[in-house]
């Protein structure tokens, strides 16, 4: 029995030799360019411009984006590999790449051809940055509860509201923004939300305070203030419903579909963190001696490392499997993505804590650089749908298959 899936062949991962070649190239970038700069990034909270220059040269901003829109090809597996390998060295830079994709995914899926041609290529080439502005002081996972409003005046919308914890907002030129254009219908809280493409240069768009969060140094989130922001009517994204012609008020589904796809990248980020701390814990446990023998010879250490490896491989398999289902555009990928995001990020958090304990006092020394992975891992369990929300999604998808 393979319930809630249909067939044993559903549990398939599609990888090609080209994927391994790409993985090696990203690892080389991460180790040669990023890794030497990590101490500086941690101290300054900024990613040096040379990282962006080298990433542009390597085409890393366009991974997973169709070539016709300036990308390297529409391959979700390659995007997962990219996120994993970058997070292994610098989760903050991995998050920045992810923020760009959180803008590009809805535009690629629901934008018209003019919108795609205008906004996707500069982001895919790394010439412009983008962000996804949905979370508000009142609500994050509860998208239907957003309070930002958009009122049509002539040929433009006037948007008022405040978005918070917006990754990449400090650098972003473009934003995906959700706003309420109508009150919800009875029994349909989600109705009345519209999705917009907003440029930072539009009148009334302001970048507010930076949030000093505990992790992802180098990519701290900001607030985005929309104070009578003027957005042209042509910047409304299309409806995802085939039987609905008017794109206005139907944007809730756009946000949900975006997160269904993007959370696979967060799972990959968790896998990268788990890989990093396993490697560091294993290396230290072989080098560190007490009472005349390496500490890996003690069960208290070796069992932790064994558990880290078990959990890492399980998380990686789930993540690559979810990506494979997404490539096939199978409905089951929604369930698989939530499974992968929940497991991989919790594995990252637990493995980082194990690595700290294995390192002892050095584990909490910022100069050693182990504790930063725990700070980064905690955030992955929260953003793009907390893991409790993922569990709700899992149950809903499970019950759906029982009908």
Q: Rounded CA gap, 234 and 196, in Å?
A: 9
φ, ψ for residue 130, nearest 5 deg: -140, 165
Q: If DSSP codes are grouped into helix, strand and coil, which group holds residue 164?
A: strand
DSSP letters, 297-312, are GSHHHHHHHHHHHHHH
DSSP track, 271-299: HHHHHHHHHHHHHHHHH-EETTEEGGGSH
Q: Which two tokens stand for residue 328?
A: 């096939």
3-state secondary structure string across 45-83: CECCHHHHHHHHHHCHHHECCCHHHCCCECCHHHHHHHH
**DSSP-assigned letter for residue 368:** T
Structure tokens at 352: 């980082």
Q: Cα(393)–Cα(370) distance, rounded to whole angstroms?
A: 32
Question: Which of 269, 239, 273, 258 has its CA nearest to residue 385?
Answer: 258
Using CA atoms, how far apart are residues 92 and 269, in angstroms rounded to an integer?
Answer: 10
DSSP 3-state assignment of 208?
Answer: strand
Asked about 46 being catalytic, the answer comes back as: no
d(CA 306, CA 324): 27
**Which of 23, 124, 169 lies closest to 83 in space, CA to CA?**
23
The C-alpha atoms of residue 276 and residue 220 are separated, in whole angstroms, by 21
Name 194's bridge partners: 179
Residue 128, beta-bridge partner list: none
Select which of 346, 349, 371, 384 is catalytic.
384
**What is the C-alpha separation between 336 and 326, in angstroms, rounded?**
9
The one-character DSSP state at 127 is S
Q: Which residues are known to be catalytic?
A: 384
């Amino acid at each position: 029995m393979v319930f809630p899936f249909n067939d044993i062949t559903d549990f398939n991962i599609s990888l090609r030799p080209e994927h391994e070649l790409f993985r090696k190239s990203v690892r080389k970038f991460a180790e040669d360019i990023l890794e030497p700069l990590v101490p500086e990034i941690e101290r300054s909270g900024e990613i040096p411009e040379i990282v962006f220059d080298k990433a542009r040269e390597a085409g890393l901003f366009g991974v997973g984006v169709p070539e016709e829109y300036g990308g390297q090809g529409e391959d979700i597996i390659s995007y997962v590999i990219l996120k994993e390998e970058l997070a292994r060295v610098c989760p903050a830079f991995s998050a920045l790449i992810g923020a760009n994709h959180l803008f590009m995914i809805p535009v690629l899926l629901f934008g018209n051809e003019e919108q795609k041609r205008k906004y996707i290529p500069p982001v895919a080439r790394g010439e412009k940055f983008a962000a996804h502005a949905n979370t508000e002081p009142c609500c994050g996972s509860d998208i239907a509860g957003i309070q930002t409003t958009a009122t049509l005046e002539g040929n433009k919308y006037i948007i008022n509201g405040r978005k918070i914890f917006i990754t990449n907002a400090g650098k972003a030129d473009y934003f995906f923004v959700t706003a309420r254009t109508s009150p919800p219908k009875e029994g349909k809280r989600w109705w009345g939300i519209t999705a917009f493409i907003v440029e930072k240069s539009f009148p009334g768009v302001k970048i507010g305070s930076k949030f000093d969060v505990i992790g992802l140094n180098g990519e701290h989130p900001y607030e985005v203030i929309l104070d009578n922001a003027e957005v042209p009517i042509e910047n409304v994204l299309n409806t995802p419903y085939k039987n609905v012609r008017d794109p206005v008020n139907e944007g809730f589904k756009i946000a949900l579909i975006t997160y269904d796809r993007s959370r696979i990248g967060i799972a990959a980020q968790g896998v990268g963190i788990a890989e990093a701390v396993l490697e560091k814990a294993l290396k230290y446990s072989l080098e560190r001696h007490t009472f005349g023998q390496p500490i890996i010879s003690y069960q208290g250490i070796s069992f932790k490392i064994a558990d880290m490896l078990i959990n890492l491989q399980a998380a990686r398999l789930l993540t690559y499997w979810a990506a494979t289902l997404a490539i096939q555009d199978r409905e089951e990928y929604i369930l698989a993505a939530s499974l992968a995001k929940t497991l991989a990020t919790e594995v990252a958090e637990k493995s980082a804590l194990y690595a700290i304990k294995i390192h002892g006092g050095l584990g909490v020394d910022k100069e050693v650089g182990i504790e930063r992975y725990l700070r980064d891992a905690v955030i992955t369990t929260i953003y793009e749908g907390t893991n409790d929300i993922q569990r709700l999604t899992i149950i809903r998808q499970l019950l759906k298959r029982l009908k």
